[in-house]
Structure 1
C-alpha cells in the first residue's frame, strides 16, 4: 500500500497522503479520517501523518480505551485511545445498545447527562460538547435525555438518575486529573457507578457499534431544542438541597456560628453549589477564593488540580484564610465529589487533614448524631459504615465498641455504591462511607462520594465543636484516645511503563522463587498476605480472598507488629500507590514511636519491593 485516500466527505475525497509503511496503521488512519467529522481532530491527525509521527499514531490509533473506574478516562485529542467526539459517539452507541437490551422501557426512562467545565482548544472538544454529543446519539434512537443545562457536580448525575428513575447516567469529567484529560463516567439505574458485568458488556457493545450511525449523532448544537430533551437542573437542585437538610442536625447553632470558612472550588464546578449547601444549613456563605472560584479548564492558579495533594496546592486558600481570620479551609476538587479540609491550629500552623483523619471525624460525627435519635442499643443492628480496603481501619475500631456493622470493599466508590444498594435491599442503612483519597459520603443522599454535602457537614461539625471549646484536631485526638490511635501513610510512585509495573508485581509474587511471596518487610515478619489480583488470601482457611478478584494489581501485607501495608495500581493514572497503617489499642499511645515504626515499614516497602531507582520510578515527595 503506497498511498491511502482520506474519505472524510466529498470535499476532501481526493486528498492523498503518503503511506506510513504499516498496512495496519494505514487502515486505522483511513478508518479515523472516514469517520471523524471534527475539523480540529482531523487536522491534528493529518499533522501527525505529515510529520511521520508513526509511534504516536500507533499509540493513538491501534488501541482503544477500556472501561476503568466506571467508564473511560484519557487525554483529549485525536485517536481511538483518546477522549474526543468520535470515541464519545462510539461509546454512547455501545451504551445505547446495551441499555436497550436491558431496559425494555428505555424510551420512557431515558438517560441523565451531566458535564464539568473541562475543554481543550486544540482538540476542539469541551465537556459540554461531549455531553451534547452523548445526548445526540440517544436522541437519534428516540431515547429521551435529561441533559443538565450547565456544569454540575458529579454527584448530581447519580442523584438525578435515582430521582428521575432514569435507566442510567453519564458524567463527562476527569475529576482532578490534569487539564489534558477528560472522561466518560457511567452510572447504573441504582445510582451507583457501573461495575462488572455491565462494564464488560458495554465495552463489547461499543466494539460492535464503531461506525457512527448517522449524521444526527454529530448534531451537538441541536439537542437542546429536541422535544425529547429536558433540563433537570432546577428540579434536581431543589430536591437535592431539600434532602440535604436531613444531614443538618444543629441548624440553631449554625445560624449563630462565629467561625469563618474559606472555600476553594479549584477552578471547577463547586462554588455555587457549596454556597447553596451552606445556606441550606443556616450558615453564612463561605468566603470564596477569588482566583479559583470560577470555572477554568486550564486550572491556571494551581500546579495540580487535586486538593488531595495537600498544603502545597492549598496555598491561596490558606493565605486568604489568614487575611480573613478564618479557621477552617474547605476545598472541593474540580468536579466537586472530593473534599479537602484544613484547620488553623494553636500558634501559626495549619493542619491539613488526611482522608483517613477526616473519615475518623466524619464517622464519629455521623454516629454521634444518629445515636442521639436512636438510643436503644438494638437499633445498631441494621446500621453500617463502609470503607475501601486501602483506607484506615478507624471505622472498624469504632464499630467494635459502638456495635454497628463495618465492611470494607475494593478500592473505588463503585464498590461502595453498589454495596450500599445491596444493603438497602435488605433493610439496612449505610450512614457513612469513605475512601482515603478524600472521598466521603454522609447519609443516604446519593451512592457516590460528595464534596458538596460533606463541606456543609464538616462546617456544622466544626460549629458544634466550637461550642464545646474543641477544634477539629482536638476532637480527632479524642477519637483516637477512645478507639485507638491510627497512624497511616499514603503516597505513590509514578511509572509510565505498564510492562515495568507488571514486572514489579510479578517479582513480588515470586519473591523467593516460583509462587512464593515475601516473608518480611524491613525485618518484620509478614503474618498474612492477600492478593486480590490472583484471589489469594493466606488468612482464610481455603486461601481464597473474600474480596472479589480485580484486574488491577493489589497486594496487602499484614505484619506481626500490627502494621497493614498495601501496594496497588491506580485505575486512572500511571501510579503505584502504597498505603501503610499502624492501628493501636484504645488509650494513650506513644504516637512518635508509632510514626517512627510506620516510616521504617513504608521505606522498606518501597525500597525492597518497588526498587524505585532500579525501575526509574518517580517518588512523590511527602
Structure 2
C-alpha cells in the first residue's frame, strides 16, 4: 500500500515537471525526487488543493497542494471553461482581477504574478480582462463586477493569513462570492483542464492586448463617489475634534482609507508609520490579523497616546475587515469585538436611514442580515423598530447572495455583518468592506462626540434599549482528528446520550443548533431547518 502511494507521488511529481516552467518551483521538485524525500513529496503532491466556496487558500510553494504559478494556471483554465459553459456573453463582458501585496521569494510566487498569469489564461481565450495595475483592497473587486457589469471577479489574496499563504477568491456575476453548485462545478472543470494551454506561460501575451484594461483609476473614482452618498453628517465631520489612528497592518488599506476620509470631509487619520506601507513579511506583528486584538495594535496604541487620539481603526491586509478600539477615561483601550462593533454600526446605519426616511411605512421594506454564528442584536433591533432581519449560514458568501436576491426584489438592504469583524455597510459592495466600514465608524464616533457620548457608552445604551447581547468568542488550535471528535462527542452527550449541556456556568442554555448533526431544539421536531440559501 505504502509503495503504491510512493509510486503515485513520483508519477504526479514527474507530470508536474513536464508542465512547470517556473525555475524555482521545478528545481525544488527535482531536488525532492532526486533525494527521494517522501515526506516533502507527500506534503506537496499528496492531495490537490480543494476548490470550495472560498476559492483556494494554501501556502505558496511547489506541488498540487500549494499556491504557485502552475496551480494558478490550472485553476484559471478550469474557471474560464466553466464560465464559458454557464455565461453566454463572457467574451463581450469579461472579468476583473485584483491582487494584494503578498510575495514568496522561495517559490517566486506573488499575488501580482498570479494575477498576471490568470489574466493571460483568459486573454488567450479571447476574454476581456480588467486587471488592476496596482494592489487594491478586496472590496474593489466585487464592486467592479457589479459596476462594470462583468461576468466574474478574482481576487488574489490570503487576507489575514500568515505570510507564507496566498489565496484565489472568486466572485460570480452578481457581485457576491460563489456558492454551490458553482464551487463543485468549477472544481470539476479544473480537473478537466490541468494541462497548460499553449500560451499559458507567455504572460507577455497580455502586454499591449486590446483585451487588457486597467480599471484602477475609474474604480477608485466611482467607488469613493458612491461612498459619499452614505455620508450623512459632513458638517460634523469637518469640525470634529476627535483624532483617529489608522493601521493597514502592512496591507493595502492605507491609501483607500485616506481617500475615504477625504470623501467624508474628514482630516486624514494618523497612519501608523511602521505599518502603513505594504510588506509581505509583516515584520511588526506575529499574525497580520486585527481580530487578534491588542497584540496587533501595540504600535497603534503608542501613536494614539503620543498624538492624543481617541479612536483606532485597523484593517486586515486586504482591507475587507475592520477592528476598532477606543481610549477609555482610565486611559485603557477597549477593543470592540466583532459583535459589539456590529451592534454599533447596525444601530448607526439604521438611525441615519430613519432620519432620511421619516415615513413610518418605509421601514417595512428594510432588511439587515447576520450570519448564524453572530450576535442576534440586529434581530432585537428589528423587532423593536419594525424592519426585517434575516440569518444566513456562516460567511459573507451567503449574506452577499441573499442581499442581492433582496435588492433584486426591490428591498433595501442596509447592513450585514459577521462576528469575525466583517461588515457590509454599503450595498454597492456585496461583501465585507473594511474601507467603507472604517469611515462610517469614524462618522458615528464623531456624531456621538457632539452628544458627549463615547462608542462604549452608546453600546451600553443600545443594550439597555434592545436587550443585552453578550458574547465571548475565542479559539484554540487542534490538529488531532481523534481529539476533535472526542470534544464534540462529549458536547453532544454532555448530560446523557444525545443530550447537550443544559447550563453554561450558572446560565441556562435556551437553544442549541448543531448543523453538523441537523439538531435544533428550538424546532418542534428538534430538526434544524434550512437557513437562507442552504
TM-score by structure 2 length? 0.96
Q: For residues 272 and 229 of structure 1, what CA distance do their matches in structure 2 show?
A: 25
1:518 corresponds to: 500
Asked if the contact 2:519–2:528 (Cα under 8 Å) also holds between the matched residues in 1, the reply is yes
Q: After the TM superposition, which residues 373-392 of structure 1 pair with which residues of structure 2 at under 5 Å, given as runs? A: 373-392=356-375
Choose from 86, 90, 93 the match for 1:109. Answer: 93
Q: For residues 538 and 358 of structure 1, what CA distance do their matches in structure 2 show?
A: 29
Q: For residues 342 and 53 of structure 2, what CA distance do their matches in structure 1 show?
A: 22
1:155-202 Cα shifts (integer Å, max 9, x gaps): 000000001111000000000000010000000001100000101100
2:68 corresponds to: 84
- SS of match in other structure, 1:492: coil
Q: Is 1:24 matched up with 2:8?
A: yes
Q: After the TM superposition, which residues 168-317 of structure 1 pair with which residues of structure 2 at under 5 Å, given as runs? A: 168-214=152-198, 216-317=199-300
How many residues align? The count is 531
For the aligned residues, what is the CA RMSD? 2.0
Asked if the contact 1:89–1:217 (Cα under 8 Å) also holds between the matched residues in 2, the reply is yes
Q: Is 1:38 matched up with 2:26?
A: no
2:479 corresponds to: 496
Choose from 43, 47, 57 the match for 1:73. Answer: 57
2:398 corresponds to: 415
- SS of match in other structure, 1:247: coil
Asked if the contact 1:265–1:334 (Cα under 8 Å) also holds between the matched residues in 2, the reply is yes
Choose from 306, 318, 329 the match for 1:335. Answer: 318
For residues 212 and 509 of structure 1, do their structure 2 counterparts lie closer, same or farther at Cα, with a shift above 3 Å needed? farther
Q: For residues 120 and 97 of structure 1, what CA distance do their matches in structure 2 show?
A: 29
- Relative to structure 2, which stretch is displaced further, 494-503 or 295-304? 494-503
Q: Is 1:94 matched up with 2:94?
A: no
For residues 109 and 409 of structure 1, do their structure 2 counterparts lie closer, same or farther at Cα, with a shift above 3 Å needed? same
Point out which structure has higher relative CO (alpha carbons under 8 A, 6+ apart). Answer: 2
Choose from 129, 135, 155 the match for 2:139. Answer: 155
Cα shift at 1:20 = 10
2:384 corresponds to: 401
Cα shift at 1:222 = 4.1
Q: For residues 435 and 63 of structure 2, what CA distance do their matches in structure 1 show?
A: 35
Cα shift at 1:115 = 0.2
Choose from 534, 545, 570 the match for 2:517. Answer: 534
For residues 166 and 536 of structure 1, do their structure 2 counterparts lie closer, same or farther at Cα, with a shift above 3 Å needed? same
For residues 504 and 33 of structure 1, do their structure 2 counterparts lie closer, same or farther at Cα, with a shift above 3 Å needed? farther
- SS of match in other structure, 1:161: helix
Q: Is 1:439 matched up with 2:422?
A: yes
- SS of match in other structure, 1:493: coil
Q: Is 1:121 matched up with 2:98?
A: no
Asked if the contact 2:392–2:533 (Cα under 8 Å) also holds between the matched residues in 1, the reply is no
- SS of match in other structure, 2:275: helix
- SS of match in other structure, 1:22: helix
1:132 corresponds to: 116
Q: For residues 342 and 68 of structure 1, what CA distance do their matches in structure 2 show?
A: 34
For residues 522 and 237 of structure 1, do their structure 2 counterparts lie closer, same or farther at Cα, with a shift above 3 Å needed? closer
The unaligned stretches of length 5 or more in structure 1 are 1-18, 552-622
Cα shift at 1:400 = 1.2
- Relative to structure 2, which stretch is displaced further, 465-474 or 504-513? 504-513
- SS of match in other structure, 1:434: strand
Cα shift at 1:485 = 1.7
1:349-372 Cα shifts (integer Å, max 9, x gaps): 111111111111101100111111
Q: For residues 498 and 131 of structure 1, what CA distance do their matches in structure 2 show?
A: 35
1:455-498 Cα shifts (integer Å, max 9, x gaps): 11011111111111111111111111111122110001102245
Q: For residues 349 and 47 of structure 1, what CA distance do their matches in structure 2 show?
A: 53
Asked if the contact 2:159–2:316 (Cα under 8 Å) also holds between the matched residues in 1, the reply is yes
For residues 548 and 407 of structure 1, do their structure 2 counterparts lie closer, same or farther at Cα, with a shift above 3 Å needed? closer
Q: Is 1:475 matched up with 2:464?
A: no
Cα shift at 1:378 = 1.5
Q: For residues 259 and 519 of structure 1, what CA distance do their matches in structure 2 show?
A: 46
Q: For residues 95 and 149 of structure 2, what CA distance do their matches in structure 1 show?
A: 9
1:122-162 Cα shifts (integer Å, max 9, x gaps): 01110000000100111111111000000100000000000
Q: For residues 117 and 16 of structure 2, what CA distance do their matches in structure 1 show?
A: 18
Asked if the contact 1:440–1:449 (Cα under 8 Å) also holds between the matched residues in 2, the reply is yes
1:611 corresponds to: none
Asked if the contact 1:176–1:305 (Cα under 8 Å) also holds between the matched residues in 2, the reply is yes
Q: For residues 23 and 548 of structure 1, what CA distance do their matches in structure 2 show?
A: 45
Q: For residues 296 and 407 of structure 1, what CA distance do their matches in structure 2 show?
A: 39
Q: For residues 508 and 67 of structure 1, what CA distance do their matches in structure 2 show?
A: 31
Cα shift at 1:544 = 3.2
Asked if the contact 2:59–2:67 (Cα under 8 Å) also holds between the matched residues in 1, the reply is yes
Cα shift at 1:301 = 0.9
Asked if the contact 2:246–2:300 (Cα under 8 Å) also holds between the matched residues in 1, the reply is yes
Cα shift at 1:526 = 4.8
1:361 corresponds to: 344
Q: For residues 489 and 53 of structure 2, what CA distance do their matches in structure 1 show?
A: 23
The unaligned stretches of length 5 or more in structure 2 are none
Asked if the contact 1:389–1:410 (Cα under 8 Å) also holds between the matched residues in 2, the reply is yes
For residues 470 and 549 of structure 1, do their structure 2 counterparts lie closer, same or farther at Cα, with a shift above 3 Å needed? closer
- SS of match in other structure, 1:494: coil
Cα shift at 1:86 = 0.7
TM-score by structure 1 length? 0.82
For residues 548 and 86 of structure 1, do their structure 2 counterparts lie closer, same or farther at Cα, with a shift above 3 Å needed? farther
Q: For residues 90 and 517 of structure 2, what CA distance do their matches in structure 1 show?
A: 37
- Relative to structure 2, which stretch is displaced further, 531-540 or 126-135? 531-540
Structure number having the greater strand percentage = 1
- SS of match in other structure, 1:297: coil
- SS of match in other structure, 1:42: helix
For residues 66 and 500 of structure 1, do their structure 2 counterparts lie closer, same or farther at Cα, with a shift above 3 Å needed? farther
- SS of match in other structure, 2:330: coil
Cα shift at 1:379 = 1.1
